[in-house]
Amino acid sequence: MGLIYSIANQKGGVGKTTTAVNLGAGFARLGKKVLVVDLDQQCNATVALGGDKHERPSSYDVLSGMNTLDQAAKPAGPDNLWLVPASRDLAGAVVELPRLEEPNYRLREQLGNVTETFDTILIDCPPALGPVTVNALVASDRVIVPVQAEYLALEGLVEFLDTLSTVRREMNPTLELAGVVVTMHDERTRLAQDVERELRDHFSETVFRNVIPRTVRVAEAPSYGIPVTDYSPTSRGSSAYLALADEVVARG
């Protein structure tokens, strides 16, 4: 049975999409059949994997109940990597979902055979703790939280972990925190070093050992519609995500 991971943080610009796409590519390199689900109305994961944000069925159609998650999956380029594209229609889901029956369980109900078809499912969540993100958390087994190496990220992480506890208590008791990954880390700055140290002091084993550096290659890859592991296989960013994939698998 494939594990479902939400890549989530209510703060924008922390590397959620970059992590979902490149961690997915890292898992695929390990021989796993991987599905990346884009739940963000900005469709960034879709574009980063060479997908079409106008293609149907989309993750919006899954939330609407028109398709199951496995029905909406399509090959994404790199071997073993598949994608459920996002749609601009997701912008309306924030209003529409609360009107539906069991609004927080829509995605879970539409999983279909996805955990039998894929070894790993990664859900790229929108940068908000609204109904779409809650749907992702309710449908997931694990959560990976990307945190940018800056001080405001620490406060946001505490708030997110509180939300995670609420979802676990009220809707998904089996949900686990897989870990926190430090992203956009510039080892040359005192700030990045201080933030990483504080994260490890306060959250200890929760923080993944592997850190994602701020690099040009990671930033460039989405414009070519491929993961950095394909765009620049020998780069520091590629190596970091491949190492993170190994670490996530080791944690189970």
pLDDT score, position 14: 86
Structure-model confidence comparison of residues 49 and 151, the more confident one: 49
What one-letter code names the amino acid at 222? P
How far apart (Å, rounded) are the C-alpha atoms in residues 114 and 19?
21
151 pLDDT more than 80: no
Structure-model confidence comparison of residues 204 and 36, the more confident one: 36
208 pLDDT more than 80: yes
- 151-170 and 131-139 helices, crossing angle to 10°: 60
Q: What pLDDT digit, counting tens, does each position of 50-99 carry?
A: 999 899 999 999 999 999 999 999 999 778 999 999 999 998 888 898 88
Q: What pLDDT digit, counting tens, does each position of 185-196 carry?
A: 877 788 878 888
Return the domain boundaries, the chain: 3-251
- 16-29 and 236-251 helices, crossing angle to 10°: 70
What one-letter code names the amino acid at 227? P
pLDDT score, position 83: 97
pLDDT score, position 149: 79
Q: Of 4, 2, 87, 17, whose CA–CA distance to 228 is shortest?
A: 17
Structure-model confidence comparison of residues 172 and 15, the more confident one: 172
By CB atoms closer than 10 A (0-12, 13-18, 19+), residue 145 is buried
At the top level of CATH, the class of 3-251 is alpha beta
pLDDT score, position 190: 83
